[in-house]
Amino acid sequence: MPLILDGNFVRDQIKAECRPLIERVRQHAGRPPGLAVILAGNDPASEIYVRGKTKTAGDLGIYNETITPPASVTTEELLEMVRDLNARPEIDGILVQLPLPKQVDAQRVLLAVAPEKDVDGFHPCNVGLLSTGRPGPRPCTPNGVIQLLRRYQIPMEGKNAVVVGRSDIVGKPMAILLLQENATVTICHSKTVDLPGVCRRADILVAAIGRPAMITADYIKPGAVVIDVGQSRIVSREQAEKIFAPERMADFDRRGSLLVGDVHPGDMARVSSAYTPVPGGVGPLTIAMLMRNTIESAERRTGLC
């Protein structure tokens, strides 16, 4: 039986480690770490995600606030909000929730966040710190994957790692972090020749391409460790029947949808030696690492490190 890599278990470990660090900041600075989230528009998935972030921050004792401009907000209005948050000493981390409304220049807004308050790790200054191995905020999802592998004592050094997807948010930083763990890393994308063959060489396969159940058994080396970063909601019964085992269809009929990652769940469980389920794998770690980034930002800004 393959090992199921439980993201909720690791998330709870990270949260427990955060509590004394938050208290240390409070005692040193006279305040807790502070996180501000800008949530523009009415994207349902973003609203759910932000609620999860603010709930976790509140549970841990991190000061947090959510700014909710309307969907009609302009780029200049958002830039003014970011400038205000940059200047506020009690705010250690700023997160601009994507996607932004179509009329907004998202790149300008993201670049306006002060690098020392960029707890997503997206600012070019922080990307440079990451790529050169210097201290700084790491993108939350890739860093969560590294924490998961470490805490389950899955060796990375000397292993062949394949990352499917080259996004700035997951694919590229994931590859850099795996390189820093001394893995031999290949990044794949839509133009990769013989993608299944390249993936089958992986001891560690990270799927972050955003296409539901695309990675099947043909892509997985027997005994590989499979990390499924994707998350898609399947609402078509016909599509669900192609992906899920018959016993899962009762869940589909009751809920009207099911979540699936980029890897076919049945094939992943059958071929791999260890894998992350969807949901409950990588997802819980993203928010946990955001909390850790916020605490580390507060430590740097208050002179604790």
Asked, for residue 216, whether it belongs to a domain, the answer is yes
Do both 96 and 188 map to the same domain?
Answer: no
Asked, for residue 7, whether it belongs to a domain, the answer is no
Looking up residue 92, the CATH number of its domain turns out to be 3.40.50.10860
Global model pTM greater than 0.85: yes
Do both 176 and 47 map to the same domain?
Answer: no
Do both 164 and 52 map to the same domain?
Answer: no
Asked, for residue 303, whether it belongs to a domain, the answer is no
Do both 260 and 195 map to the same domain?
Answer: yes
C-beta of residue 135 within 8 angstroms of C-beta of residue 121: no
Do both 224 and 147 map to the same domain?
Answer: yes
Asked, for residue 33, whether it belongs to a domain, the answer is yes
Do both 169 and 249 map to the same domain?
Answer: yes
Asked, for residue 145, whether it belongs to a domain, the answer is yes
Query: Which domain covers residue 61, as residue numbers?
Result: 29-116
pLDDT digits (tens, 9 = 90+) for 103-144: 999 999 999 999 999 999 999 999 999 999 999 999 999 999
Asked, for residue 6, whether it belongs to a domain, the answer is no
Looking up residue 192, the CATH number of its domain turns out to be 3.40.50.720
Do both 104 and 154 map to the same domain?
Answer: no
pLDDT computed for residue 48 by the predictor: 85
Distance of alpha carbon 262 from the chain centroid: 14
| Count of domains observed in the chain | 2
Do both 70 and 199 map to the same domain?
Answer: no
The angle formed by the CA atoms of residues 195, 196 and 202, to the nearest 5 degrees, is: 95
Active site residues: 53, 97, 120
Residues of the chain with pLDDT under 50: none
Do both 43 and 108 map to the same domain?
Answer: yes
Sign of the Cα torsion 226, 227, 229, 232 reads: positive
pLDDT computed for residue 45 by the predictor: 80
Do both 197 and 268 map to the same domain?
Answer: yes
Asked, for residue 272, whether it belongs to a domain, the answer is yes
Asked, for residue 292, whether it belongs to a domain, the answer is no
pLDDT digits (tens, 9 = 90+) for 275-295: 999 999 999 999 999 999 999
